[in-house]
Amino acid sequence: MSETTTVREPQPREKAPRRAARSRGRLVRLVALLVLVAVLMLLPLYVQEFWLRTGFAVFAAIIGALGLNLLVGTTGQLSLGHAFFLAVGAVTYTYVSGLPGGTANPYDGLGWPPLVGMVLGVIAAGAMGVLFSPIAARLRGIYLGIASLGLVFIGEHVLNTWTSVTGGFNGRLVPGFSLFGFSFGGSDSPYLEVLGVPFGQAERLWYLGLALCIAASWFAANLLRSRPGRALQTLRDSEVAASVMGVDVPAYKARAFLVSSMYAGLAGVLYALSIGSVAPDSFGLTLSVQFLAMIVLGGLGSVTGSIMGAAFVSALPLVFQQYAGSLPFIVNPGQPGIVASQAAAFLYGAAIVLVVLFEPGGLAGLARRLRRPTRAPGDRSATTSGADPDQVTQPAQADSSTIGDNE
Amino acid sequence: MTQFLSLLLNGLSLGAIYALIALGFVIIFKASEVTSFMQGSLLLLGAYLMGRLHESLGFWGAVAVGIAGSAIAAMVVERLLINRLRGAPVISLAILTIGVDLIIVTELTRRIGSDILNLGHPWGGRAISIGGIGMTTNRALAIVVAGVLIGALFLTFKFSSWGISMRAAAEDGEAAALMGIHMGRVSMFAWMLAGVLAAVAGLFAVGAPTPGVTPAVATVALSALPAAILGGLDSTGGALVGGILIGLAEAMAAGYQDQIAFLGRGFGDVVPYVVMVAVLLVRPSGLFGTREMTRV
């Protein structure tokens, strides 16, 4: 990762070809991105409902992973409390937009429009992030990680206890989403058909997830390149250096928590829509660990990494479940052997270990490494940080004392 | 009053178990600068081996194998993974141990299934009475054994050459290495010791009044994390104090559940975290942890 810190002095004579190469690289990336988006837009016309539902779960995970990566990868603040912020988003949405109900454990609901519920969910999660930030600002490294672990357990307890809002242990159903009368829920109103394919819940949610996901990725990528984004990266590499350069350390930490937990809130709303009912069990430590696994696998501090890692970790158990019959080693629940969720846990547990051991840059780093040898040896221009937005966000590996605790 | 004293004793025994695990965290942290999130899986591994083997090997044989198994597992992780990553960011190493923990716990959960393994403790579910206050023999033994073990460990830290090496390594790793201290060996021994402590904690954590070995036992170690943190991650004495504090708070909250019913049922389970957050707000490096200093 040494190239992240190298500053190439300007060489006027080379400038023109280098700029041309850079803009060519940018063009290639843009075209690839547009093709990818087009494929994703067309997919619902061709694939089965299972893949659309999986896709929606992946979109939700991507948004959550982007948020966690901003906090852990970019700012260097270890958080095991991501599941808590997802829970805040999900529960706020179900409470604000849901209707009162429940037979054994009656619960309330405001029944407001789902869009309001979603926005309030994001705001509530952000507010919790800000509330937590005074604690976060005082703690560093591992201390912060374990304090945020406390959030998950305290949050789970609150979810279990506050039955009038959350439905208690058994949870409550999530109201379907709708936008100005256009339903994304179970009722297919108004009826919509595109090229002979009827658009049901799965298709509609797919587009909702895709749109939100693109917006979230775009915002994250721009944030990383902006002045606040650079400040956050400096803060990760050295808090002392950051404060010397005029970065207000506590304020930026608080903002990182705010943005990250707002992402988590949105992800929580989508996650709730995806699983259909929210119960305290869904927001345990396992979920936090899954999100950590996503960003470590994908690559800390990288937007494309978050996307790849989230797709891998969140889709894996669902795919294993769906194809349990045709995959060797995997059995249906109740039989002796490895069930799908366990197989997925083995796989991403092993993947975490391998990534930390051999490729600290994650999948994004791997992709970068595979791309590099194809260039001509003399053509160094493409490796300058400007050409690759991911590169600048890599942690400085050599400086281990920055995230260390007691030094 | 009787209830209070009984809760005090039970809290103390719970605290003794937490202190053993928390001490493991602290030893590992001091020797190798790694926060190990895999103490839970080591504890479960030890308890699982004891539960599976006590019928064929006898109780004491199974206990020996369980302790050895945990220690070897910890050693393998240290040799194969941690030792190669010396100097890697603290967060990466912590996440690495989460990955290892995930693998071990998943495998053991699969093997245990819905069974509840019994360890066949020779003291079984018997209870003793101290001055009219009853507690299970298992819990009483936990206090005694943990007390002896922790006492022996503190003497080791103070006087043995390994203990001195470990303290030197914790003080300044680079200087210690330059003085000829074999950092790898210090770290390996620390991990093995933490494995032993986790297995001993497991031995008592699954005894009466707990029904037996279930995958949920691994979460005991998660409650010990707050103990290590609130004492200060680099303070062995802090781990002891933190463990006992957390154990007492948890036992009290569970015992006086009716009086604090407005906080919800099962509040005892989250008390460790509430106490930890409260302490960290006042002292960000724990009660006895080294204050962080920044030199420019």
Does the interface predicted TM-score (ipTM) exceed 0.95? no
Q: Which of A69-83, A330-344, B77-91, B260-274 has the lowest mean pLDDT?
A: A330-344
- Residue B80 above 80 pLDDT? yes
- Residue B248 above 70 pLDDT? yes
d(CA A337, CA A330): 7
Question: Which pair of tokens denotes residue B197?
Answer: 């402590």
Question: Which pair of tokens denotes residue B108?
Answer: 């053991």
φ and ψ at residue B128, rounded to 5 degrees = -120, 165
A358-407 per-position pLDDT tens digit: 877 778 888 877 776 555 555 544 444 444 444 444 444 444 443 333 33
- Three-state SS letters, A83-132: HHHHHHHHHHHHHHHCCCECCCCCECCCCCCHHHHHHHHHHHHHHHHHHH
With beta carbons under 8 A apart, name residues in chain B contacting A292: 95, 98
d(CA B68, CA B55): 18
Q: How many CA atoms lie within 13 A of A307 on its CB side?
A: 16
pLDDT at B100: 92
- Neighbouring residues of A1: CB distance < 8 A, sequence distance ≥ 6: A361, A394, A395, A396, A397
Question: How is A308-341 classified by DSSP, letter by letter?
Answer: HHHHHHHHHHHHHHHTTTTSTTEE-TTSSSEEHH
B173-230 per-position pLDDT tens digit: 888 888 888 888 888 889 999 999 999 998 888 877 777 788 888 888 888 888 888 8
Query: CA of B170: which chain A residue's CA is closest?
Result: A406
d(CA B179, CA B165): 10
pLDDT at B220: 82
Give the pLDDT band (50/70/90) at residue B67: very high
User: If DSSP codes are grouped into helix, strand and coil, which group holds residue A398?
Assistant: coil
Question: How is A18-54 classified by DSSP, letter by letter?
Answer: HHHHHHHHHHHHHHHHHHHHHHHHHGGGTS-HHHHHH
With beta carbons under 8 A apart, name residues in chain A contacting B263: 161
Q: Are B99 and A349 in contact (CB under 8 A)?
A: yes
φ and ψ at residue A338, rounded to 5 degrees = -100, 120
pLDDT at A335: 65
Q: B296 vs A244: CB contact, 8 Å cut-off? A: yes
**14-43 of B, contacting A, C-beta below 8 A:** 33, 35
User: Which of B89, B96, B102 lies at the smallest CB-CB distance from A403?
Assistant: B89
User: If DSSP codes are grouped into helix, strand and coil, which group holds residue A197?
Assistant: strand
pLDDT at B208: 72
Query: CA of B264: which chain A residue's CA is closest?
Result: A161
**B30-58: average pLDDT:** 88
Question: Which pair of tokens denotes residue B173?
Answer: 């790793």
**Interface contact B109, partner A, CB < 8 A:** yes
d(CA B25, CA B34): 9
The Cα-based distances of A356 to B77, B89, B100, B276 in angstroms read 13, 10, 11, 29
pLDDT at A382: 43
φ and ψ at residue A18, rounded to 5 degrees = -65, -40
Q: A146 vs B292: CB contact, 8 Å cut-off? A: no
pLDDT at A47: 75
The Cα-based distances of A326 to A47, A321, A335 in angstroms read 19, 10, 15
B139-188 per-position pLDDT tens digit: 888 889 998 999 998 898 888 888 888 888 888 888 888 888 888 888 88
pLDDT at A387: 40
- Which residue numbers in chain A have pLDDT < 70? 1-19, 102-105, 181-199, 324-325, 328-337, 372-407
pLDDT at A85: 92
